[in-house]
Structures are given as C-alpha cells and as structure tokens.
Structure 1
Amino acid sequence: MAQLPPNNRPHGSDDENDPQDPFAAMFGQLFGGGFDPNNLPPQLRDALGDQMNNPAAMQQMMQQAQAFMSAMMQSNPSAGAVNWKLASDTALQAYASEDPSISDSRTTAITDASYLAGMWLDNATVFEGTGLPLEAWTRRKWFDQTLDTWKQLTEPIAESVTAAITSALQEQLPEQMKGMLGNSDAIFRNLGGSMFGAQLGTALGTLAKDVLGGTDIGLPLAGTTPGIVSTNFDAFGEGLEIPEQEILLYVVLREAAHIRLFQRVPWLSTKLIGAVESYARGIHIDMSRIEEAVREVDPSNPESLQQMLGDGLFTPQRTEAQERALKNLELTLALIEGWVDHVVAQAATNLPFASHLRETFRRRRASGGPAENTFASLVGLELRPRRLREATALWEHLFNERGVAGRDAVWDHPDLMPTDEDLDNPTSFTSRRETAASEYEDFDAALGKLLDGGFDTPKDPNDEDPEAKS
C-alpha cells in the first residue's frame, strides 16, 4: 500500500508530494515506499502504543488524519476561533431527528397565551411589552435565532482556548515535522477551532432539546424576539399533573417578563456579556490533561475522540480575576431570575397551580440540567443563579416598601444594582443607599467648594507674621 487513495489526497493537489502542500510532503514521507509505522515521530509512536502493531489500523488512521488535516488547510484562518459550520452541523445531528413541525393549534395557543400574559404583566411591572405575541419555534428555529448571541458569548472564550492549544502544540511539535508543516500556527489554529466547534455544537444541540424559550438560561439569546420551543414545552409538561393551558401560560409569562426586562434595561445585556468576556480573558488550559487524554484515544475508533471532547477536556483552571467575573455574572443572573420569579408570581395570582409551577422553575434554574452541565464542561462557565431565593426575597421587600414603580426603578442605572450584601440583608437595602447618596452629596459639595475657591488657603508655618516683625 504505497500510496493513499486519490480521494484522500489534499484537495487541489495532483501529486502527493506537491511541495506546496505540507501535508502531502509529510504523508509522502510517512507512506513513501510502503507504510512503515517506525517512520512516525517518537512522540506519536509512544502515544499509539499497541496500535503500532496493527499496520491496517495505522494505515486507516493516517488516511483519516490526512483527510481531516487537508480539510483544515482549506478553511479560512481569518474566519474566527470557532468552526461554526462544524458547530452547526454537529448541533443539527443532535436534535434533527426529534424536531417535528408545529401544528396550527399549538401556534394559536401560544399566541392567545401571549396576549393574556401581556395584560397580566401590565399590572405587575412598569416595563412595557411590545404588544407582539411570542413565536412558536422548532428546535432548529431556536438554534438559528440564538446563534449570533452564541457567537458573541463563546468566541472570546474560543480565542483563549485556541491560542492556548496553538502555543502548546507548537512547543511540543517534533523538530523533524516543523519544516513539513510550514505555517503550523494557522494549522493548529484551525485544528483548535474545529475541536472547539465540534464540542460547542454538541453542547448547543443538547441545549436545543431542553430549553423552553429564548431566555430560559437567563440570557437574551434571541435578542428582542421572544419565542417558545414547542416540542420542549411538551416534554417539560409531562408528569407535572397540571393542566397544559396553565403550564403554557406560566412559561409564556416567564419568557415575556424576561423580554420586557432586557428591552427596558439596555445596559443589562452588555453587563452580562462583559462578565463573560472578562472570564474569557483569563482562560488557561491544563495541557497535561490534553496529553493524558490523547494517550487514551483509540485511533481506530472515531467515537473515542468524541468522548475525549465530551469529558470537559478544555475546562480551564480559574484565576482570581475569573472568580470575580464569575461571581459578578452569578449575581446578575440571580437578580434577573429573582425579579422574573417575583413579577411572574404577582402576575399569575389567578392560576390555581402557580405556586407549584413557581417552585418547579426555581429548582430547574438553581440546579441546572444536563444541557447546562454540558455547556459548563465546555468552558467551565456555569450560567446558574445560585442565590435565586435571596434575590427574590430582595425584590419582594422592595415591592412591599416602594411599590411596583419603586421596585423597578432600581434597574435605572447599574450603579443602583443590589450587591451580595443586599441579598444577605434585604431590609437594609434602602438605608444603605441613602447613606451612600448622602456621602456622595457631601463629597460633591466639598469638591464644588474647592473648585470655586471657597476654602481658605492654609498658612505656611514657616511664614512669619509681618506685624510681629515690627
């Protein structure tokens, strides 16, 4: 088996030894004159172990590797740190077989529930709605509607991950292969983008089968377009022993309340994404875990590579800065979820099973699920409002103390937002803000007086009194 099959040669190369294709040169060396595993670099021979004694398996592995690497050579290095084509294809494989079309009756039910929820929310918050009904989504529609936001959220993380992978692989690349690979930085960047894209696609495909709407994990994933994932709603309602109409109305209330908050508080989305970006800047990859995982991969079994990717291979070690960013993110998510929990409870007082549904959603958001765990294993970032109940208690206290308008006015500016201390002691929130405001006013008055020259110039103790001299 002196040569690779023609369909496994690099695209655009007529000769496997084409000097313009570093992969052709590399594989030409490996396979020229017949495949010999001993031609492989020592590091790769050690990693393969017993596979070295199976020439047929080695030939198949190298053919697959050549095809994969050649495909990476064709990708655009400037396309970003994530192979989004691969991510989309991987996600589609996860949900496509279980994504039925939506019936007219379901669409009508969601539309009717949207109008009723809008009227109820008008009495529970000063934040106005758009007046438009929620859309009925398939899982594919949810993915398409949220993809732009996922790009914004994950590309900063992917940049750090890919840079770490590229740097580590460059350092570990055998000297005899560096000349053959040419621009190895671009090659490894493409490799990192493909690996990250495959894992991200798996995570998003799992989420697509679990989320109920565009704001189900606390982020405005679909922008200002609200929607309900019909198939996932059906699965969520199974076993609750609550009338379907009530469940639908409660789910619609939560989605609509989230949308009102994100639309009327424009800085909130920026704050959330900024926290994710701050987290991403400190990404650090433990390359020893990658090396250990690679040694356990069975080259003849493609599923072993997928298993490696699904085991949180790139979960980063958190720095102090990341811990602060994560704490900020969790606090913001808790405040959002606490406000929605409280407002929806106010709006849903006419639903007989409202308290049961409220507790169900509290547990669902606080504990997360398989989908959120998948996403957390990808980037080490958990999108959970861990202090949901404390945040709800704070908003309830502010409602009792200030009414609907006073409670919602807290969202007017990011500087007014509650802190962890406020969640610990909600009853003193107002007094702390009044004290802070008073101190600021005193400082502002003193600064104004200073700028106006209202303070006397202090005397220099070294200056003598002229009258004393006389």
Structure 2
Amino acid sequence: MSTNPGDTPDEPDEHGQNPFKGTPFEQLFGGQTFGAGGQMPDLSALFGQIQSMLQPSDDGPINWDVALDTARKLVAQQPDPSPSQRQKDAVADAVRLADHWLDDTATFASGVTSTAAWSRAEWIVGTTDVWKVLVEPIAEGSVQALSSALPEEARAMSGPVLGILGRAVGAMLAGQIGSGLGGLAGEVLSVSDTGLPLAPAGKAALLPTNVEKFAEGLDVSGDDVLLYLALREAAHQRLFAHVPWLREHLIGAVADYARGIEINVEGIQGRVEEQMRGLDPMNPESMQQILDGGLFDLPQSPAQKAALERLEITLALVEGWVDEVVHEATAERMPSAGKLQEAFRRRRAAGGPAEQTFASLVGLELRPRRLRDASTLWGSLRTRQGIEARDGVWMHPDLLPTAADLDDPLGFREGATAPEELSEDDFDAALRQLLEGEGGDTPDGPGSPDSPGA
C-alpha cells in the first residue's frame, strides 16, 4: 500500500474522492497499483499507455484504437460467449421464416442476403465503420471549438500546447465513445435495433445473449421472442434494400447536424480562458474538467435543430413502418405478438442507460419518440388504400409524412385515392407531377437524394 492517500487513482485523495473516477484515465491507471512490498508500478508500460492515448490518429479527431479497446473491455466485464452453431442455425431459421411471413404484408421483396448470430464484441466490430461516419463529424467540431474560441494571437503562441491538449481531449472523447458503444452493445438486440443501417447491406444479425436477456420476464416463449425480433430485422432489411436514398438520408441528417455547429467565440472565450488558466497538462483531472465543465456543450443552431427534427421524424417513420408490417404479419399467426409489440414499444420509447449516455455524448438521441403515431399513420393508410399506397410513400423523401402529419396520423393523404396500375413511364411522370405540385422539386431537383440537402 502507498503511504500517501492520493498516490494511485484507486485510492481517495485527502478529501476522500477519487479524482480519476469516471474518466478514461481511471481505466488507464486503475491497474497500476503498488505491490505488497511497496514496489513502483511498471512505469514503462504506464507511459506506453499514455503515449498510445495521445498518439495522433490518421483517421481523424478520434483515436479509434482507444475507443474500440475501451468498448471491448467494457463488454468483457460480463459474459459474452460466441454464439453456438445451434444459435446461429436458430437465427437463420427465424429470419427465413420471418421473410416468408413478410411476403404477404409488404410490397418490398426480401433484402436479406446473409444472416449472423453475433456476440456483443462482434456487434462492436461489425458496426464500427458506420459509427465512424456518424460520430467523427460531431467530435471534430467539438475538438475544434477549443482552438477556435481563442484569439488568433493566443493560438499562434500556444500552438504546440493546443496540439497536445487537442490530442488529450480527442483521447478522452475516444474513451467516452468507447464507453457508449460498449454500453449499447450490452443492450441492442439486432443490428438494426437503433433504426440506423449499421451493417453492410443485406446483413441480418441478432445478438442471442441480449435476446435471451430481453425475453426474461416477458412470459413469452423464447422461440416467439426470437421470431418476433427476426421479423423486425427482416423488415428493416427490406426497407433499406428497396429505398435506396434512405441510408444516406439518415446518415446525412447526422452530417448536417455536425455542419450546423456554430461556435459563439465571444460567448465562450471567457470560459475557455478561465479553464485554460487552471489547466495542468500533467494532471488528467484538470483536462477532464474541460469536458465536464461544458466546454463542448454548445447551444444548437437553427441548422442543427432542423437536422435533428429530420432525423427524429425519419427514424419514427422507419420504426413505425416496421411496427406496422410486423403487426400485420403476426396478427393471425402469433398470439403473443401483441404483448411483444407493446414491450418493444415501451423499450424503444424509454431507451436504456447506454442509449442515454450516447445521446449525451454526441448530442443525438436515437429513439423514435413518435413511433406510435407513425405506426398509426402507416396502418391507416394501408386500411384506406392498401399496402401499395403505403409502401409507395417511400419512393422519394419529399413524399414522406412530416411532423404535422404525425400530429394527425389518421388524416395523412385522407383525400387521396388508391393508385392505379401504371407503366414505368407513367409512374415516373406521375411522381414528377406530384413533386412539382408539392413544392417545385423534381427527382433531379433540390429535393432529390443526390442533392446536398437530401
């Protein structure tokens, strides 16, 4: 044991507090304790870890090696067995049956090209590429806020220090992102569970360990739970496979959010200077306080609010459509489907602790708040005009229901009639006429998926 209370991060300081508590440095230094004979820790290994954390990353503002290592270590704290062959076969069989059931309730053909049963660690690896696209623009804007808030003269004089500090902040953000991903890995049930396309197109994957945990206390057979989740996963795959603009529409909303970050230099300059005066580059606690002190807690700009609304509404429409087609597929086949639907709706509406942590980190909530309204809208449209009219709304982003439509889900396209059979040329002409009549945008115009705002 050390004779001084604050010698190691696992021991309280003179005020009884652990200054490293809750920071990535707690994980870094947590294992570096003194031996029974009072020996010093392995300083070469310790400084090697510090050097790896502060190493500049060629991939952008976040050191993803640190992020993924943090996520894996968090996942490893609980049993995370690799799925057995029996579990892999069960997932494949459930997805195959789910696709067969969905053939009668959706106009879109199957989008599944392969199935997988993933462990939590495999979910982290399998979704990392998309998380990079989603998170890096926001992280980059946050890190740049530090130097942008300083006067030009100060930036010129403190360039090297800011470079080191920027890498330290980037390392801390990497640790926080890793914690968020590790937490999410313990909660997600499938690769499409967040509503975002996190895996390669056509890859339908479920996490058996998390599925079994979700099934506890539901008073529903494990086979029904697995099949219900396979139905949701297969429905997501159909939608993303046959609505080619949807993936970029969702990811583009996150990118627009990042581009909309506006830094009020005058408003935060005093706060930056105050925190910089108390900064000790050798003290991890003081660097952590820069993050905890709200340095990157910037007010949302109008552009960010618009991007958030677009993301939230589209996620609700995606989840509502999936909810609707799965309900139709199970109505006459699965007596327990109503109980599962309600359990899943409550779960999605409330969000888990890890989901809330991730939302606070990147400023984005991945929950479709209006799932019930969206499901009601799609169901009402199907009842009045059939599944062709319901699924036809996904032909173009300009046809999607708006927030106002979700306020009155039963009134969406109330005066419209069911579509007639059209040739491909007539269909394109009718779509072009509809878009021009609703705002002047054509498929090749400002509202097209190929345009910057799509």
**TM-score category (smaller protein):** 0.7 to 0.9
Shift, 1:231, TM fit: 1.2
- C-alpha distance in 2 between matches for 1:149 and 1:159: 16
Please tell me the root mean square deviation across aligned C-alpha atoms, in Å.
3.7
Asked if 1:345 corresponds to 2:323, the answer is no
- C-alpha distance in 2 between matches for 1:427 and 1:443: 23
Go from structure 1 to structure 2 and tell me whether the alpha carbon gap of 1:129 and 1:148 turns closer, same or farther (over 3 Å shift).
same
- C-alpha distance in 1 between matches for 2:438 and 2:205: 48
Residues 391-411 of structure 1, C-alpha deviations (whole Å, 9 max, x = no match): 111100110112112211110
Residues 85-122 of structure 1, C-alpha deviations (whole Å, 9 max, x = no match): 11011111110233112122211211111111110011
Determine helix, strand or coil for the equivalent of 1:134: strand
- C-alpha distance in 2 between matches for 1:417 and 1:126: 17
- C-alpha distance in 1 between matches for 2:403 and 2:410: 13
Determine helix, strand or coil for the equivalent of 2:176: helix
Instruction: State which of 65, 74, 85 in structure 2 corresponds to 1:85.
Output: 65
Shift, 1:317, TM fit: 1.9
Residues 293-332 of structure 1, C-alpha deviations (whole Å, 9 max, x = no match): 9999999997897798689874432122211111111110
Go from structure 1 to structure 2 and tell me whether the alpha carbon gap of 1:213 and 1:442 turns closer, same or farther (over 3 Å shift).
closer
Instruction: State which of 91, 105, 111 in structure 2 corresponds to 1:110.
Output: 91
Shift, 1:236, TM fit: 0.9
Q: Is contact 1:275-1:326 (8 Å) kept?
A: yes
Task: State how 1:320-399 maps to structure 2 within 5 Å.
Answer: 320-349=302-331, 350-399=333-382
Q: Match of 1:274, as an amino acid?
A: G
Greater helix share, 1 or 2? 1
Q: Match of 2:339, as an amino acid?
A: H
Q: Is contact 2:127-2:199 (8 Å) kept?
A: yes
Task: State how 1:171-182 maps to structure 2 within 5 Å.
Answer: 178=157
Q: Which residue of 2 aligns with 1:256?
A: 234
Q: Which residue of 2 aligns with 1:279?
A: 257
Q: Is contact 1:138-1:231 (8 Å) kept?
A: yes
Q: Match of 1:317, as an amino acid?
A: P
Q: Match of 1:222, as an amino acid?
A: A
Residues 350-390 of structure 1, C-alpha deviations (whole Å, 9 max, x = no match): 11110010011111112211111011110221112111111
Q: Match of 1:378, as an amino acid?
A: L
Residues 22-52 of structure 1, C-alpha deviations (whole Å, 9 max, x = no match): xxxxxxxxxxxxxxxxxxxxxxxxxxxxxxx
Q: Match of 2:207, as an amino acid?
A: V
Residues 104-147 of structure 1, C-alpha deviations (whole Å, 9 max, x = no match): 22112111111111100111101111454531001111111100
Q: Is contact 1:199-1:310 (8 Å) kept?
A: no
Go from structure 1 to structure 2 and tell me whether the alpha carbon gap of 1:430 and 1:108 turns closer, same or farther (over 3 Å shift).
same
- C-alpha distance in 2 between matches for 1:321 and 1:143: 30
Q: Is contact 1:169-1:188 (8 Å) kept?
A: no
Q: Which residue of 2 aligns with 1:135?
A: 116
Give percent identity, aligned residues only.
47
Task: State how 1:157-196 maps to structure 2 within 5 Å.
Answer: 157-168=138-149, 178=157, 183-196=160-173
- C-alpha distance in 2 between matches for 1:210 and 1:323: 28
The alignment's TM-score, normalised by the length of structure 1, stands at 0.71
Q: Which residue of 2 aligns with 1:28?
A: none
- C-alpha distance in 2 between matches for 1:429 and 1:389: 15
The alignment's TM-score, normalised by the length of structure 2, stands at 0.73
Q: Which residue of 1 aligns with 2:449?
A: none
Determine helix, strand or coil for the equivalent of 1:81: coil
Structure 1 residue runs of 5 or longer lacking an equivalent are: 1-59, 445-470
Q: Which residue of 2 aligns with 1:448?
A: none
Q: Which residue of 2 aligns with 1:206?
A: 183
Q: Is contact 1:314-1:378 (8 Å) kept?
A: no
- C-alpha distance in 2 between matches for 1:291 and 1:250: 54
Asked if 1:421 corresponds to 2:377, the answer is no
- C-alpha distance in 2 between matches for 1:167 and 1:333: 33
Shift, 1:155, TM fit: 1.0
- C-alpha distance in 2 between matches for 1:310 and 1:238: 37
Go from structure 1 to structure 2 and tell me whether the alpha carbon gap of 1:439 and 1:404 turns closer, same or farther (over 3 Å shift).
closer
Q: Match of 1:220, as an amino acid?
A: P
- C-alpha distance in 1 between matches for 2:208 and 2:100: 22
Determine helix, strand or coil for the equivalent of 2:412: helix
Structure 2 residue runs of 5 or longer lacking an equivalent are: 1-40, 418-430, 441-454
Determine helix, strand or coil for the equivalent of 1:97: coil
Determine helix, strand or coil for the equivalent of 1:226: strand
Q: Is contact 1:411-1:417 (8 Å) kept?
A: yes
- C-alpha distance in 1 between matches for 2:74 and 2:168: 22
- C-alpha distance in 2 between matches for 1:299 and 1:182: 14
Q: Which residue of 2 aligns with 1:268?
A: 246
Q: Which residue of 2 aligns with 1:75?
A: 56
Q: Is contact 2:60-2:136 (8 Å) kept?
A: yes
Go from structure 1 to structure 2 and tell me whether the alpha carbon gap of 1:182 and 1:164 turns closer, same or farther (over 3 Å shift).
closer
Q: Match of 1:89, as an amino acid?
A: D
Q: Is contact 1:81-1:192 (8 Å) kept?
A: no
Q: Match of 1:371, as an amino acid?
A: A
- C-alpha distance in 2 between matches for 1:301 and 1:441: 62
Q: Which residue of 2 aligns with 1:95?
A: 75
Q: Match of 1:105, as an amino acid?
A: R
Q: Match of 1:406, as an amino acid?
A: A
- C-alpha distance in 2 between matches for 1:357 and 1:377: 29
